[in-house]
Amino acid sequence: MTLFNLKIDLNKLADPEQAKILSKFFKTGKGEYGEGDVFLGIKVPELRKITKKYFYLPLKDTQTLLNSKIHEYRLVALFILVDKYSKSDNKTEIVNLYLKNTKKVNNWDLVDLSAHYILGDYLLNKNRSVLYTLAKSKNLWEKRISIISTYAFIKNNQFDDTLKISEILLNDNHDLIHKAVGWMLREVGKKNQAVEEKFLKKHYKVMPRTMLRYAIEKFDDKKRKFYMKK
């Protein structure tokens, strides 16, 4: 199976009506966060099936896909990288390719379906300074990658980096960062609510409302009302 065959298979699955829906959902209009993103209109389960068929594509072909303006090409490339990473003896090569292409992991689903599986997992027992560099980037997607990558740490009961990166992003002005940080704080709370609440008590009065709402979503009514009172 070649890259040429993969593109043929993807183009056969294209659904123009679904593409219109996805283009609006992922904000591809002028001045919106997904400006310039092109959709074929293929749903994720179908893309995952394609991934299994083309798992053995070489990394140079995943790079070609990541260079594309077509959203589904990039998403399939990331699914392939996630699968390759999980089975590879040379994980560093895949992580380096991912880091080289962070600006092409440029919509929230692309980040959320790849960052913690590749970069986060890789850094579980390594220096994590790259995440702080990404957190301080001017690029929206690199910032989201930085916080979503920490999901891998949370799953392993390691919370410090999530909290530190959340502090860095606390005053970010983009809704997609508010949602991502709130989501990761909520995941911390599901593992250890006391740790999350210690963070919230320090910051909840200045947190963006969306971030706070996401963070306290699993709390009981009494606690939610407490934190929503500023």
For the chain, give every domain's residue range.
1-113, 126-230
The secondary element (H helix, E strand) that includes residue 112 is helix 108-112
CATH 3.20.20.70 for the 126-230 domain, yes or no = no
pLDDT of residue 92: 97
Intrachain domains 1-113 and 126-230 with the same fold: yes
Q: What's the rounded Cα separation, in Å, for the pair 167 and 199? A: 9
Mean pLDDT by runs of 10 across the 230 residues of the chain is: 94 97 96 96 96 94 98 98 94 98 97 98 98 98 98 98 98 97 98 98 96 97 91
CA angle 92–148–102, rounded 5-degree value: 55
Q: What is the dihedral of CA 196, 201, 202, 208, to 10 degrees?
A: 80
> Which CATH architecture does the domain made up of 1-113 adopt?
Alpha Horseshoe (1.25)
Question: Which pLDDT does position 229 carry in this prediction?
Answer: 86
